[in-house]
Structure 1
Amino acid sequence: MIPLRTLSILVLAVFAVEKSSAFTVFSNLTNRIHNIDVLTPEQRTKILNLPPDQTEKVHLQKDCKALNRFKVMPSGIYAIQPKGSYPLVVYCDMETQGGGWVVLQRVSRKSITPFARRWETYKHSFGNLEKDHWLGNEYIHLITQKGHFEVKFVIESNSGKVEVDYASFNVEDEGHRYKLRLGAPSNASESYDYLTNVNKNDNSDNMMFSTRDQDNDRDSRHCADIVGGGWWFNQCSSVYFNDRQIRWPSICDECKSGTILIRPTFENCK
């Protein structure tokens, strides 16, 4: 018969090994998250679907909508793994119109996060995922490369918030300069359509991305340098979100904030 003291020591030893194993799994996963450096040490402890569950395995979903499928989850920072991609951290909006949205960008006027960045910075995440940030063109491409996604642009003015929706959203790879592909505006959003209207020379649909060191627009001027932030510029497009100016014609020229949200949809492209 094993003495009680010896048994207690064995139980503690097993518990220590289990805790060590769980920590190793969690530590190994965080080391694999491609944009983990965008998080502060405090934010790394706030990833809502980590640490691992009781089986010591972390089950990553491909997007925020998949996370929200079986039970209502709170908004916050999550780790996801799109198909064919490495793990990423994103901010999931679980409240807007049913939730399940990946936040691609959040910016407010006079933001403390500058958006006049270079190509390599826009390629990856920058800013504060819980506040103003850009998720990263490479990550946006990886998320949207498989499946159909809808997009919602949320614009806040002194008069309140306006949501502009498009039926589909996709960003091509870096070889195609992260070209933007949009579907038709949804429902009432048609009256605010300044991104796909073919009668305007300043629409952003089918445009390549431009930054201060990569001039890929169709204008003789360098729009990203003039406007002060990266965007899918055409003729220095009338819509753009950055810390110097947030603008969407017919809504506001000096908007208070702008947010871009995407989530999967089973609706066919229009």
Structure 2
Amino acid sequence: MFSHRTLSFLLLTIFAVEKCSAFTTVYSSLFNRIENIGALTEEQKSKILNVNPGSMEKVVMKQDCMALNRNADKRSGIYVIQPKGHKPLVVYCVMDSPGKGWVVLQHVTKNSNISFARHWDTYKHTFGNMEDDHWLGNEYIHWITQQAHYDVRFLIDSGFEKIAIDYASFNVENENNKYKLRLGAPIGVSQTEKNLVINKNDNMMFSTSDQDNDRNNTENCAATVGGGWWFNHCSSVIFNNQQIRWPGICDNCQSATILIRRTFENCK
């Protein structure tokens, strides 16, 4: 017969195993629901900041990074969000810059080993390293930007200085409309910079080497430039690892990042 002490130990062990198994099941189920979980390495999965399999706290999923960081106490990193009406997504949130709740749509460094010369179906989903150079995915950008009003910030490292260019609205339409880009008014930039994007990239459909939706009648800009983008003509703004260009700022930029943030009006 077991002693009282031994029996108590066995019961505690069984309880601990069952609890661990329950949490494992819960979190495995969550991971299976995350639409783009395959974009993360096993190490990155363990670093998702609002998912802790060892905690008894409920996983907190909000619609975007700003909603997660209402108290401005979160750190930047990978989080799970759940856009309204859609499956959960993993995104990289920038929490420690002005605004404290930006979703990174793209980060790219010149000559990165992450190739942006991808086809339509690849650009539809997440590719690259979410903690470094990556593209979040056109379908997921559409999901996020349909649920509220979002500002956008383009961060550009020219090699000489770092420049932030903001627009008061950023929206990407659905795949049937070729993920057409809708930009609002620029904020605090020169007239030259205003014209560059508003006239050349706003209202443009997305193009890749296998889906030519640009307005150039003689060539496929995505194939020529080496990456997908909202092209008008091939000389417009473009961010990929072969060429990062914002005419008037730099034609040989070193890096670029696109971030979006729900406007404060949506957070009241």
Which bracket does the TM-score occupy, shorter chain normalised? Answer: over 0.9
Distance 1:16 1:22, change over 3 A: same
Long gaps (5+) in structure 2: none
Please state how far the C-alpha of 1:237 moved relative to its aligned partner: 4.4
Which residue of structure 1 aligns with residue 114 of structure 2? 113
Please state how far the C-alpha of 1:55 moved relative to its aligned partner: 4.3
Inter-partner Cα distance in structure 1 for 2:21 and 2:111: 45
Contact 2:72/2:100 (8 A) holds in 1: no
Distance 1:78 1:189, change over 3 A: farther
How many residues are matched?
A: 262
Contact 1:204/1:237 (8 A) holds in 2: no
Please, which moves more after superposition, 185-194 or 99-108? 185-194
Inter-partner Cα distance in structure 1 for 2:63 and 2:47: 19
Please state how far the C-alpha of 1:133 moved relative to its aligned partner: 0.4
Measured against aligned partners, the alpha-carbon deviations of 1:193-224 in whole angstroms (never above 9, x if no partner) come to 22113xxxxx1111000001000011112111
Distance 1:236 1:154, change over 3 A: same
Inter-partner Cα distance in structure 2 for 1:31 and 1:49: 16
Counterpart residue type for residue 227 of structure 2:
G
Inter-partner Cα distance in structure 2 for 1:240 and 1:213: 17
Note the 1:204-243 alignment, pairs <5 A.
Answer: 204-220=201-217, 221-243=219-241
Contact 1:163/1:189 (8 A) holds in 2: no
- Do residues 195 (structure 1) and 197 (structure 2) align? yes
Measured against aligned partners, the alpha-carbon deviations of 1:42-83 in whole angstroms (never above 9, x if no partner) come to 111111111258545322111111111124111111111110
Please state how far the C-alpha of 1:158 moved relative to its aligned partner: 1.7
The correspondence for 2:253, drawn from 249, 252, 255, is 255
Please state how far the C-alpha of 1:4 moved relative to its aligned partner: 2.1
Please state how far the C-alpha of 1:112 moved relative to its aligned partner: 0.5
Contact 2:177/2:205 (8 A) holds in 1: yes
Measured against aligned partners, the alpha-carbon deviations of 1:68-111 in whole angstroms (never above 9, x if no partner) come to 11241111111111101101111111122132100000001001
- TM-score normalized by structure 2? 0.93
Distance 1:52 1:65, change over 3 A: farther
Inter-partner Cα distance in structure 1 for 2:66 and 2:151: 12
Which residue of structure 2 aligns with residue 151 of structure 1? 152
Query: Match of 2:106, SS?
Result: strand
Measured against aligned partners, the alpha-carbon deviations of 1:228-247 in whole angstroms (never above 9, x if no partner) come to 10000012242010111100
Note the 1:40-55 alignment, pairs <5 A.
Answer: 40-52=41-53, 54-55=55-56
Inter-partner Cα distance in structure 1 for 2:28 and 2:213: 40
Query: Match of 2:253, SS?
Result: coil
- Do residues 123 (structure 1) and 124 (structure 2) align? yes
Measured against aligned partners, the alpha-carbon deviations of 1:129-182 in whole angstroms (never above 9, x if no partner) come to 001000000000001111100000000012110000000000000000000001
Inter-partner Cα distance in structure 1 for 2:222 and 2:189: 30
Please state how far the C-alpha of 1:31 moved relative to its aligned partner: 1.0
Please state how far the C-alpha of 1:188 moved relative to its aligned partner: 3.0
After superposing on structure 2, the runs of 4+ consecutive aligned residues of structure 1 that deviate more than 6 Å are: none
Contact 1:22/1:56 (8 A) holds in 2: no
Which residue of structure 1 aligns with residue 164 of structure 2? 163
Please, which moves more after superposition, 70-79 or 248-257? 70-79
Inter-partner Cα distance in structure 2 for 1:187 and 1:216: 30
Contact 1:76/1:93 (8 A) holds in 2: yes
Query: Match of 1:195, SS?
Result: helix
Please, which moves more after superposition, 172-181 or 49-58? 49-58
Counterpart residue type for residue 51 of structure 1:
N
Query: Match of 2:259, SS?
Result: strand
Which residue of structure 2 aligns with residue 200 of structure 1? none
Question: RMSD of the TM alignment (CA)?
Answer: 1.6
Aligned identity (percent) is 58
Please, which moves more after superposition, 17-26 or 187-196? 187-196
- Do residues 37 (structure 1) and 42 (structure 2) align? no
Inter-partner Cα distance in structure 2 for 1:14 and 1:189: 65
